[in-house]
Amino acid sequence: MPQAAPPTVLCDAAAVATEAPARVEREGTAYAVFLLGERHYVTQDACTHGPGSLSEGTIDGEEVECPFHQGRFHIPTGRPTAPPCTEKLRVWPARLIDGRVCIDRE
């Protein structure tokens, strides 16, 4: 029976603030780690519209506004909520393990 891959550790939970998401690169992929309320969320960092980095975006409720053309996404689902963004973000369920934000990449 194949063993499940170990979780990928992204960062210390304490390194993420609601107003200051974290950008983390692992094996060629850039992730944005968000804190909304008490919960962490992980999306791809790259905006689906262009070169914007969503970890540098502005948080408004459960949405992030891309700093490049001000498109928006719903962080928990990755759904685009304002133009020019039309393509969904990839999202990964985040887990806290020993105070660190982890994801299962597959």
Q: Which residues bind ligand FES (CB under 6 A)?
A: 47, 49-52, 66, 68-69, 71, 84-85
Q: Decide: helix, strand or coil at residue 88.
A: coil
Beta carbon of residue 99, minimum distance to ligand FES (angstroms, whole number)? 31
Q: Give me the least distance between CB of 72 and ligand FES, in Å please.
A: 8
Residue placing its CB nearer to ligand FES in the complex, 35 or 57? 57
Asked if residues 49 and 82 have their Cβ atoms less than 8 Å apart, the reply is: no
Measured CA to CA, the distance from residue 57 to residue 40 in angstroms comes to 16
Nearer to ligand FES, 51 or 93 (CB): 51
10 Å Cβ neighbour count for 15?
14
Strand partners, 74: 63
Residue length of the chain? 106
Q: How far is the CB of 71 from ligand FES (least distance, A)?
A: 3
CB-count exposure of residue 7 (10 Å: 0-12, 13-18, 19+): middle
Give whichever of 42 and 101 is closer to ligand FES, judged by the CB atom.
Answer: 42
Shortest distance in whole angstroms from residue 49 CB to ligand FES: 4
Of 52 and 101, which has the nearer Cβ to ligand FES? 52
